[in-house]
Amino acid sequence: MLFSPLQAGALTLPNRILMAPLTRARADAGHMPTALMAEYYAQRASGGLLITECTLVAPNTSAFTSEPGIYSAEQVQAWKQVTAAVHAKGGRIFMQIWHPGRAAHPAMNAEPIVVSSTARAIDGDVHTPQGKLPNAVPRALAADEIPGLVASYVQGAKNAIAAGFDGVEVHGANGYLIDQFLRDGVNDRTDAYGGSLENRARFLFEVLTAVTAAIGSDRVGLRTSPLNSYNSMVDSDPIALTAFLAERLNAFHLAYWHVMRADFFQAQTGDVLPVARKHYQGVLIGNMGYSAAEATQAIQDGQLDAVAFGTGFLANPDLPARFKAGAPLNTPDASTFYTPGAAGYTDYPTL
Ligand code: PHB
């Protein structure tokens, strides 16, 4: 099943073993993609679809210092080496377009923009070039600022297409800006963007409406993580949130919906995938902690259409070939997840 083709919007994926978005923090100053990044993604081109690391749609919103961006002409030009390298090896690649919202930090931005649905900060500290610092206190967005943010996602999507990407994945997960609207443990607004599910999803739906109009719905995916508590996220009813999104997302005719099934910290438990499958008629991708056997079973049972592998793909550039051969996997080295250079990035061996 992992090796049967899958139609995902405009793309025919040759297999259902996808590469999940992974922050690797290898971009150059100015959030510029590099030749090393092109090599890294091209090494992994046998994945059914590669999804890039989260990529900034707006300047002065950095949350990881060395993450790439897609808001400047220079970045668009530099990304072309990545898409060309992946395509030269027969691969397909979507860019994950991202606004960190309140996860942005003044220590990483010359003229910091730290905005959110709320004026409450993420708990605790964040790693910065100046050491560990408390997370920044955001400014709650005014409703009339929302169109400007939607426009940033649209420009990012258009730029991604101009850079040669096959499509974009809208990052609606993991406690970043869109998710800061979606979940009621964070969104404390009393206007049209807070309160009911309809209101909390309004920003997401405005982004999806505008981005699909700009580049075509068959080149747009969405990632959400209803259970992940990373970035101080919580929702009172993740199942209801998932069911609501599932029903409403049908109308967007997206290339896919990518659901992270669990919590990095296991603080929130449950299973959101069955309710997603029950109400969503499009291509559904599951992610987080799957073995090849479990992924095969989930696809066979009709629970999912494909599975995205994060650390598995990070450490095994030839992951599909290894799954096919039943070969052992390299172990990911967490100490090099976010460090500069080739070590732990482009030096994992193939079979
Ligand atoms: C991370 O680097 O820890 C990270 C980045 C983006 C995500 C989730 C986690 O969506």
Share in percent of the chain as helix, strand, coil (round to 5): 35, 15, 50
Q: Which residue has the tokens 């800061």?
A: 180
**Dihedral of alpha carbons 232, 107, 169, 351, sign:** negative
The average confidence (pLDDT) of the chain is: 98
The finding on whether 231 has its CB within 6 A of some atom of ligand 1 is no
Q: Is 258 helix (H, G, I), strand (E, B) or coil?
A: strand
Rounded distance between C-alpha atoms, residue 9 and residue 12, angstroms:
8
Residue among 228, 248, 142 nearest 183 (CA)? 228
pLDDT of residue 279: 98
The finding on whether 66 has its CB within 6 A of some atom of ligand 1 is no
Domains with residue ranges and CATH for the chain: 6-328 (3.20.20.70)
Q: Which helix (H) or strand (E) holds 273?
A: helix 273-279
Q: How far is the CA of 170 from the centre of ligand 1 (A)?
A: 14
Task: Give how far Cα 37 sits from Cα of 30, 86, 310, Å.
Answer: 15, 11, 16
Q: How far is the CA of 23 from the centre of ligand 1 (A)?
A: 6
Residue 2 phi, psi dihedral angles, 5° rounding: -65, -25
Q: How far is the CA of 103 from the centre of ligand 1 (A)?
A: 11
% of the chain at pLDDT higher than 90:
99
The finding on whether 54 has its CB within 6 A of some atom of ligand 1 is yes
Q: Give the pLDDT band (50/70/90) at residue 22.
A: very high
Rounded distance between C-alpha atoms, residue 179 and residue 225, angstroms:
8
% of the chain at pLDDT higher than 70:
100
- Say if CB 80 and CB 163 are below 8 A apart: yes
Rounded distance between C-alpha atoms, residue 11 and residue 85, angstroms:
18
Task: Say how many CA atoms lie within 13 Å of 238 toward its Cβ.
Answer: 24
Residue nearest to atom 3 of ligand 1 (CA): 23
Rounded distance between C-alpha atoms, residue 121 and residue 204, angstroms:
21
Is 41 an annotated catalytic residue?
A: no
pLDDT of residue 5: 98
End-to-end Cα, the chain, rounded Å: 22
Rounded distance between C-alpha atoms, residue 89 and residue 138, angstroms:
43
The finding on whether 55 has its CB within 6 A of some atom of ligand 1 is no
pLDDT of residue 90: 98
Helices (H), 14-137: 35-43, 73-88
The finding on whether 174 has its CB within 6 A of some atom of ligand 1 is yes
Mutate to test the pocket of ligand 1, among 22, 26, 54, 66 (most ligand atoms within 8 A of CB): 54
pLDDT of residue 75: 98
pLDDT of residue 287: 98
Condensed to tens digits (0 to 9), the pLDDT of residues 107-121 reads 999 999 999 999 999
Which ligand 1 atom lies nearest to the CA of residue 171?
10
Residue nearest to atom 10 of ligand 1 (CA): 174
Rounded distance between C-alpha atoms, residue 3 and residue 295, angstroms:
11
Q: Which residue has the tokens 């969503």?
A: 280
Q: How far is the CA of 174 from the centre of ligand 1 (A)?
A: 7
If you average pLDDT over residues 283-301, what whole number do you get?
98
Q: Which residue has the tokens 């040669």?
A: 164
Catalytic residue (one of 41, 153, 176, 193): 176
Q: How far is the CA of 325 from the centre of ligand 1 (A)?
A: 30
Task: Give how far Cα 251 sits from Cα of 159, 193, 243, 247, Å.
Answer: 25, 20, 14, 8
Give the burial class of 334: count Cβ atoms within 10 A of its Cβ; 0-12 exposed, 13-18 middle, 19 or more buried: exposed
pLDDT of residue 176: 98
Q: Is 28 helix (H, G, I), strand (E, B) or coil?
A: strand
pLDDT of residue 206: 99
Residue nearest to atom 4 of ligand 1 (CA): 23
- Say if CB 246 and CB 218 are below 8 A apart: no
Residue nearest to atom 5 of ligand 1 (CA): 23
Condensed to tens digits (0 to 9), the pLDDT of residues 309-351 reads 999 999 999 999 999 999 999 999 999 999 999 999 999 999 9
**Dihedral of alpha carbons 62, 68, 69, 74, sign:** positive
pLDDT of residue 47: 98
Q: Is 307 helix (H, G, I), strand (E, B) or coil?
A: strand
The finding on whether 224 has its CB within 6 A of some atom of ligand 1 is no
